Amino acid sequence: MRYALISSWLGRDIDPPAPDGSDPVGQALVRRYLTAYGPAASADLRAWCGLAGLPGAVSAVRGELVAFRDERGRELLDLPDAPRPDPDTPAPVRFLPAFDNAILGYQDRSRIIDDDHRPLSVAGERVVLVDGRVAATWTVETDTVLVTPLRRFSRTDRTSVAEEGRAMASFLSGDGSDRVRIEASPV
């Protein structure tokens, strides 16, 4: 059996969440999500966990949170003491594994991945972030990290991707080898 009711797994019925948000578990979930992914919209939280009934929990903790507006005017919530870098801080190159929550943890994934490349996030592709956006995919072939750009890289981007790729290759090899190959950029 692939799916089962939680009550059959636990051997007892569970209480439904309180519609007024007084459920401490829902409130803790809101806080923990924002600790990892804030600032975020409440729609991002729902997309991440798949639970309905969270508006009450968000409302219950709203007084503890700070609110911002994104470029499109959507409300983003966060914990008041959460670290938030200056918007002009450059994002370092990062190699992400398949199904990483940095991409899947939001309802609006356009902040990190272009709509044309969105299928990569659910197809199990490993991606490379350049300046905080999906810019390439990566695989490992015969002890070499192979990077396939999705767009043209500047010389600086290519150097940064190669440097981070060597660090990933060294980590994966276990023997210190740091082979990386960057495919030609698309036209």
pLDDT 10s digits, 42-69: 888 888 888 777 888 899 999 999 999 9
What phi and psi, each to the nearest 5 degrees, are found at residue 142?
A: 45, 60
What the block records as the tokens of 122 is 């659910």
Q: Give the burial string for 152-168 (b: 16+ CB within 10 Å, else e).
A: ebeeebbebbbebbeeb
What pLDDT does residue 21 have? 58
Q: pLDDT of 73-102, one tens digit each?
A: 999 999 999 998 888 888 999 999 998 888
pLDDT band at 120 (very low <50, low <70, confident <90, very high): confident
133 beta partners: 130
Strand order in the sheet with 144-149: 94-96, 126-130, 133-141, 144-149, 180-182
Beta bridge partners of 140: 145
* Domain range list for the chain: 6-78, 94-182
Residue 137 has pLDDT above 80, yes or no: yes
Alpha helices in 50-187 (DSSP H): 54-61, 101-104, 119-122, 155-173
Look up the CATH number of domain 6-78: 1.10.10
How confident is the model at residue 146, as a pLDDT?
A: 95
Q: Could you tell me what percent of the chain has a pLDDT over 70? A: 95
Which amino acid appears at position 111 of this protein?
A: R
Whether 70 and 76 have beta carbons less than 8 Å apart is answered as yes
Classify the phi-psi angles of 162: left when phi > 0, otherwise alpha if psi is within -120 to 50, otherwise beta. Answer: alpha
Token pair belonging to 185: 């950029």
For position 75, what pLDDT does the model report? 93
